[in-house]
Amino acid sequence: MPRFRWKKYLLIAFSIVIAILLARFTPATATKAKISPLAPPETTSPRVTLSEFRHSMEQTHALIMSAYESGNNTPGLRYSSAQRQQAQEAEEALERAIKTLDLSEVPPAQLEDIGVESALLLNEILGRIPLPSDDQIPDITTVENEKITYLGD
């Protein structure tokens, strides 16, 4: 059973990488994504940051799997415009998840690779452990009242 689970996650990771490559080497279409890629993710508190990360990764996975299933059901060698659009939206959602991570210590030349890998690995870890309930994760009020600061400060 663990071997099957490993293959499933490898397929998901591979699908995300394919979507990123597909989005980079195909022209982007001019339709609106559900979440504006220009708006940075909200990271005002640990609760909101975790929520933003999880939502963005779930959106990435859903878009990739939808494009993958559509590709399996569509004959031909080329991706449809809908599949390219889904890949573009998945890349934007993944980039949004990466922006919730503190990658300030990562060299610029490695930022993209380490960002993608870190987001995938963190999502994998969070999917395997029990998470505390939302009310146990500090929100903005708790952060301000208890003067919680970033560990690097």
Q: What is the average per-residue pLDDT within 33-52? A: 80
pTM of the model: 0.71
Q: How many domains does the chain have?
A: 1
Q: Is residue 64 part of a domain?
A: yes
Q: Is residue 15 part of a domain?
A: yes
Q: Is residue 22 part of a domain?
A: yes
Q: Is residue 81 part of a domain?
A: yes
Torsion sign across C-alpha atoms 28, 31, 35, 36 = positive
Check residue 18 and give its pLDDT.
61
pLDDT higher at 75 or 53: 53
Q: Is residue 110 part of a domain?
A: no
pLDDT digits (tens, 9 = 90+) for 14-30: 666 665 555 554 444 33
Q: Is residue 73 part of a domain?
A: yes
Q: Is residue 131 part of a domain?
A: no
Check residue 80 and give its pLDDT.
84
Per the structure, the complete domain to which residue 15 belongs is given by 1-26+41-96
Phi first, then psi: give them for residue 90, nearest 5 degrees.
Answer: -65, -40
Q: Is residue 35 part of a domain?
A: no
